[in-house]
Amino acid sequence: MERTMWTTRCTRNAARTRSILVPRAAPTSPAPRAEENEVREGVFEGTWTWRGHRVRYQRVPGPKDASTRPPMLLVHGFGGNCDHWSECLKPLGQEQDTYAVDLLGFGFSDKPDPKKYDPERLYSFETWGQQLVDFSQAFFDGRPCVIACNSVGGVAGLQAAVYAPESCLGVALLNISLRGLHVTKQPAFARPVIRAFQDLMRNTYLGEYFFQQVATSSGVENILKQAYHNPDTVTPEVVEKILRPGLQDGASKVFLDFISYSTGPLPETLLPLMKRPVLIIWGKEDPWEPVVQGRQYASFPCVQDFVELEEVGHCPQDEAPHLVVPLLQQFSRTISTVEK
């Protein structure tokens, strides 16, 4: 299959000791699997209860010998959900058990009110990282999985792998968020202004008004046409699968809480702690996470490959699944062979 891409291979340092960046939360007891429904041919959807909250997931069972291969766990980005992986879910399921999960607060997972928790605690990468760890331990029968994640989901995926390397075989990052609004990346003179604006958006009607302007078909379409390089791939179906969960009760509070989140881990603080291999895939035309900045991550010892996709934007899994699926499959095969 012909693909236009550029690849850099980095040296791995197998013998290294890493400390954990943040304390790992106490594991929760795996909840029983709920009844599933077949939402598309071969795609099953269910609800898993985690810490008292409902979490939606989708899965495609792999072939008969799938138990001999690692499962694949797909994680969306900010404002996304399971359906943002719909173009990859079934193709990946041809080789291995493949799951997609809605992070707490997104998609059709529950959206608890963040104001009932300490600031920047509920919708954080520590929370989502632990959610992914507990999900893998509840569903994968002790098999370590490959985590593939887009945008901010990439930080959650790395956090999960740092928390529980025994549950993870490797992590594939698709246009991982650079977290440009992190407090350490803000100019000192701008920090009070940015904090005041975030508080204004989070705690006043101005934030709700802003969300109402965004959470429309035209608003979502305009945002996606910025993120995707090819505007023809932003179809009404793509708009609908992003918009519909965003109209649920509580979605605006999650949105406003997360855009006010300027602490927590960064890719560059988690990658040095990784004990598992990492594949980085980057749509070169991403206007939000510039590839020139992303290339800095290729130098970390855990990164096996850095692949740039020509004429692809921020969400390669939806805009160019024909390029993403073979890369994920090859990564999974390679690290599975090494593990054995």
Given this model, what pLDDT does residue 338 score?
66
Q: Which ranges in 95-235 belong to alpha helices (H)?
A: 125-139, 152-163, 191-203, 205-214, 217-227
Query: Which residues are within 8 A (CB) of 253 and not within 5 positions of it... i.e. 6 or more apart?
Result: 111, 113, 114, 115
Query: Which residues are within 8 A (CB) of 1 and not within 5 positions of it... i.e. 6 or more apart?
Result: 322, 326
Q: Measure the CA angle with vertex 257, ends 132 and 112; round to 5°.
A: 60
- Please give the structure tokens belonging to residue 252: 């605006």
Given this model, what pLDDT does residue 178 score?
97
Average pLDDT over the chain, rounded to an integer: 89
Given this model, what pLDDT does residue 30 score?
36
Q: Quick one: 225 exposed, middle or buried, by C-beta within 10 A (0-12, 13-18, 19+)?
A: middle
Q: Among 196, 161, 183, which residue's Cα sits nearest to residue 335?
A: 161
Query: Which residues are within 8 A (CB) of 252 and not within 5 positions of it... i.e. 6 or more apart?
Result: 207, 208, 211, 212, 215
CB 125, CB 265: distance < 8 Å: yes
- Please give the structure tokens belonging to residue 219: 């608003």
- What's the CA gap between 305 and 323, in Å, rounded? 15
CB 201, CB 256: distance < 8 Å: yes
CB 258, CB 78: distance < 8 Å: yes
CB 312, CB 285: distance < 8 Å: yes
CB 267, CB 159: distance < 8 Å: no
Q: Quick one: 209 exposed, middle or buried, by C-beta within 10 A (0-12, 13-18, 19+)?
A: exposed
Given this model, what pLDDT does residue 35 score?
83
Given this model, what pLDDT does residue 125 score?
97
DSSP structure class, residue 179: -
* CA gyration radius, the chain: 19
Helix, strand or coil, per DSSP, at residue 169: strand
Given this model, what pLDDT does residue 339 score?
62
pLDDT tens-digit series, residues 156-168:
999 999 999 999 9
- What's the CA gap between 16 and 292, in Å, rounded? 28
User: pLDDT 10s per residue in the chain (340 long)?
Assistant: 333 333 333 333 322 222 223 333 333 333 335 589 999 999 999 999 999 999 999 999 999 888 889 999 999 999 999 999 999 999 999 999 999 999 999 999 999 999 999 888 899 999 999 999 999 999 999 999 999 999 999 999 999 999 999 999 999 999 999 999 999 999 999 999 999 999 999 889 999 999 999 999 999 999 999 999 999 999 999 999 999 999 999 999 999 999 999 999 999 999 999 999 999 999 999 999 999 999 999 999 999 999 999 999 999 999 999 999 999 999 999 998 766 5
